[in-house]
A and B are shown apart, each in its own frame.
Chain A
Amino acid sequence: MQEERLAIHLRDRPAQLRDLKEKGVKIIGCFPGNYVPEELIYASGAVPLCLVHGGSPQTADAALSVVPHVICPFARAQIGERLLKNPYYSMIDMLVAPITCQHLKKVAEVWEYHGDLEIFKLGIPHQHNNDFELEYFTDRLIALKDRLQTFTGNEITNKRISGAIDLYNKMRELLRKISVIRRTSPSLVSALDFIKLNHASFYADPAFMVEILDSVYQELKGKQQATKTDRPRILLVGPNIGYGDYMVLELVRAAGGEIVIEEVCEGIRYYWNKIENKGDLFQSLARGYLVDRVPCAFMRNSAKKRLDFTLKLIKDFNVSGVIWYELLCCETYDSESYFFTQKLGEQNIPVLILESDYSTAATGQLKTRIEAFIEILKGGME
């Protein structure tokens, strides 16, 4: 029921956004990674769209006319989607580009070079252990507010920001609740369904999305626990899952495994923490988006923090194995895969490292490796 409502909403969403544009509403895109507070865009009266399409070899390859092959496929896909005129990517009036990893930073530079789009580069200090780094980010958020006000012609008041924080907190809270339901075995919602919901939240109207998520949560709460299965419970770790990059999720499911939780930086909304909705709201947003979260691999001193968080997820979600899903040429995650494999190995937690460039040619090999891994996990469970 909710699935159908959401599908219809997403089907009609581009047309709905075009109507809004005709009425003068600005559509403002941002890149994922959860360093851009959508709250500010929403509070400006514009529509925030987090551009998170990925997984298609065609779009990633289309970008090869602009950037070389050693740029990660997700970053290339962002260039490709615009070249191939994806309606969402074509309709944005402005891009907020967080300065996160070097690949996405380059996408913003390529778009900036072509000069047909208003771009705001949101500076993200890559560490926050010094006071001046949080200060820098806070100042950049204030600068973003100023730019949004000028661009949309709407004043961004504290009241509007507070309302937006409240709305997005509800969304985060519901995603968290739905995710936590997956602690039960067998999981009441598949990883694919959860990630699709999450991806939808980047494009759908946020108020509508909150309604959908609430209904989904209520439905799941009322569901009877299914009978026990022997599906090994798996944690998926990686830099990125794009909207459409579902091959590994499907292969794991088909091979008899169950991904029960994801620790993914890009492409999944960070929903574990809420933004404090009191006091200085810019400081609050800066803290919430920069400090009070598990750092992505491009951040300084992040490996240990993410390892600790991963170990907690393994325990909380009763995980028996980890699939490390990285994108080709993502060197920070590739470096960390070595560290994680060593550290998880010390605790006898099996790890499978997979690497993707979105090519379908590797499907057979991926399938074989995933099947073998799940067999190992099943063997280990007996």
Chain B
Amino acid sequence: MIELLKLCGFEEQEMESELPRVEKAFTKLGITDEDIERGKQRLAKYYDIELKGVRKVFRLIVRELVAALLVRDEGKKKVIYGFMAPGIDMLGSAVVTKSKEAFVIHHCWAFHIVVGCIFGKMVPILEAAEKKWLKEGVVAHCANVKTLVGPITLGLFPKPDLLVTSGFMCETSPKTLDLLHELYDIPVWYIDTCQDREFREYPEPTRRIASLTAKSLKRLAERIQEVVGFEITDNMLREVQDAKGKLGDALRRLKDLVESSDPLPLSPTHDNIWMCLSTLTLSIDGIAEATEAINTLYEELRERVAKGLGVVEKGAPRVLAILPAGQTDPRLEHLACEVGIAIVAIDGSLAAPFKETSEDPYMKFGLESQQRSMSFPLRRRIPLIIEGCKKLNIDGVLDRFHVGCRSVVADALIIEEAIKKELGIPVLLLEWENFDPRVYNHEQYKSRFEVFKAMMTKKSS
């Protein structure tokens, strides 16, 4: 265990206090000695664990999960969970900065990384959810919601005082909470928004939608205040937004470096970790730690770039991937590197530039939340992807469609057609599940990647 924790960036001097906590938390998860060994191997194989910045990020993620698992044992009086709830990270960070007695966590992200990516133990969790109401098979429900229902029905996480979600992307998550409320008596809350933005309203964010989101988030803040028993002021939120802004800038700088370097200096297996880091409800000090970790990593990668070192050969075909990296399994991204494909970016990081902002932290959030590629309807999303491909000098697009998410899956074939027509570059269409490692088929993916690489190489030559 100590070795594993060291790989995850824990310092020698904190072992005394952290080791018993981690052991207790991992026991709750059913992590065995065998799992620990596998975890060490997976960390070494799939992640650039020799980089201090990567280790520091893992440390933050492991600590968050441990804290979530021990939340009641450690005397936290009020516990709030967020699930697919953009905005809860802002409110949650404000709460945990102010109070030692309240705990807010967007817990599934850390759970995905530790249980899925490190230990490779996501399957029993998914199966537990499938024994309830979340279907498996060719028309399976989104495995992301299974990673919420599984741990709750298995009793891994204590019952929260409030469980929050939104309908920013889909109805699956709110429906899941509806049932968790009815069947397990968990108090739930929904952040409202509306996806009625019309093409003619682009590129600027739509104020009416931002305003609805802001009002709904404000109402959630009032509800959280009732739970935790203290006020969440606008100033507290601004401080969180400032801290998160610095983290966002650091991540952007890191991504710019990765995107612009040849050879690719860091494996795309890390892409989901950045996403996880952005959504954790860290305290302001914790956000500063995260920012420092990313800055450390940036400097380490700059050294790699200066030395011409990379995870694929120089000149490897450059690929834009649609949708984020596998959240619970790093094998697909790792395989891409093995085959010699450089996944340099994901479309989720493509954002439309916009000028509008607001002094009101809720409104600021409402405006910013509309600008990401995945939040756009097709007619706007596709030009953004095409522009991104041109800007990043992309040789091919990995169009993996997350079958569990009906909200994004419908775009896949049209994206493929549009890219081929507009850019004439190869598109690899991959039926995919972002949260379910069972979809991974090494031989099939390997041969498809090899053909994809050959097509890109031929095209560029």
Instruction: Give A residues with C-beta under 8 Å from B.
Output: 65-72, 99, 101-103, 105-106, 109-110, 112-113, 115, 119-127, 130, 132-133, 136, 139-140, 297-298, 300-304, 328-329, 331-332, 334-339, 342
Q: For B410, give the chain A residue with the smallest CB separation.
A: A106
Q: Quick one: which of A109, A130, A132, A139 contacts B410, CB cutoff 8 A? A: A109
A113:B171 contact, CB within 8 angstroms: no
B175:A331 contact, CB within 8 angstroms: yes
A127:B190 contact, CB within 8 angstroms: yes
- Judge if B388 is at the interface, Cβ distance under 8 Å: no
Chain A contacts of B411 at CB under 8 A?
106, 109
- Judge if B313 is at the interface, Cβ distance under 8 Å: no
How many angstroms between the C-alpha atoms of A268 and B423 in the bound complex?
44
A304:B182 contact, CB within 8 angstroms: yes
- Judge if B406 is at the interface, Cβ distance under 8 Å: yes
Known contacts: A298-B175, A335-B133. The answer to whether A106 contacts B406 by CB under 8 A is yes
Minimum C-beta distance from B221 to chain A (A): 13
Minimum C-beta distance from A356 to chain B (A): 12
A130:B216 contact, CB within 8 angstroms: yes
B194:A130 contact, CB within 8 angstroms: no
Extra contacts besides A298-B175, A300-B174 (14): CB < 8 Å: A67-B410, A68-B401, A68-B409, A109-B379, A126-B190, A132-B212, A136-B208, A136-B212, A139-B208, A297-B175, A301-B181, A331-B135, A331-B171, A331-B175
Mark contacts of B377-406 with chain A using CB atoms, 8 A cut-off: 1 yes-contact digit, 0 otherwise.
111001000000000000000000101001
Minimum C-beta distance from A346 to chain B (A): 12
B410:A336 contact, CB within 8 angstroms: no
Chain B contacts of A331 at CB under 8 A?
135, 141-142, 171-172, 175, 406
Chain A contacts of B194 at CB under 8 A?
99, 123-125, 136
Chain A contacts of B135 at CB under 8 A?
331, 334
Minimum C-beta distance from B137 to chain A (A): 11
How many angstroms between the C-alpha atoms of A245 and B403 in the bound complex?
25
B196:A99 contact, CB within 8 angstroms: yes
Please, could you name 13 A-B residue pairs with CB atoms under 8 Å apart, sorted by A? A66-B413, A66-B414, A67-B414, A68-B412, A102-B407, A110-B410, A119-B198, A121-B197, A130-B216, A298-B175, A303-B182, A339-B133, A342-B183
- Judge if B6 is at the interface, Cβ distance under 8 Å: no
A113:B414 contact, CB within 8 angstroms: yes
Q: Quick one: which of A66, A120, A301 contacts B178, CB cutoff 8 A? A: A301
Instruction: Give B residues with C-beta under 8 Å from A.
Output: 132-135, 138-139, 141-142, 167, 170-172, 174-176, 178-179, 181-183, 190, 192, 194-199, 208-209, 212, 215-216, 219, 377-379, 382, 401, 403, 406-407, 409-414, 431
How many angstroms between the C-alpha atoms of A99 and B183 in the bound complex?
28
Q: For A66, give the chain B residue with the smallest CB separation.
A: B413
B174:A132 contact, CB within 8 angstroms: no
A130:B414 contact, CB within 8 angstroms: no
B382:A113 contact, CB within 8 angstroms: yes
A112:B378 contact, CB within 8 angstroms: yes
How many angstroms between the C-alpha atoms of A72 and B174 in the bound complex?
19
Q: Which of B138, B174, B175 has most chain A Cβ within 10 Å?
A: B175
Q: Quick one: which of A102, A115, A132 contacts B171, CB cutoff 8 A? A: A102
Known contacts: A121-B196, A126-B192. The answer to whether A336 contacts B406 by CB under 8 A is no
A126:B174 contact, CB within 8 angstroms: yes
B176:A121 contact, CB within 8 angstroms: no
B175:A335 contact, CB within 8 angstroms: yes
Chain B contacts of A136 at CB under 8 A?
194, 208, 212
Q: For B132, give the chain A residue with the smallest CB separation.
A: A338
Q: Quick one: which of A68, A109, A110, A127 contacts B403, CB cutoff 8 A? A: A68
Minimum C-beta distance from A313 to chain B (A): 19
Minimum C-beta distance from B223 to chain A (A): 11
A130:B192 contact, CB within 8 angstroms: yes
B414:A332 contact, CB within 8 angstroms: no
B198:A338 contact, CB within 8 angstroms: no
B179:A335 contact, CB within 8 angstroms: yes
Chain B contacts of A71 at CB under 8 A?
406, 409-410
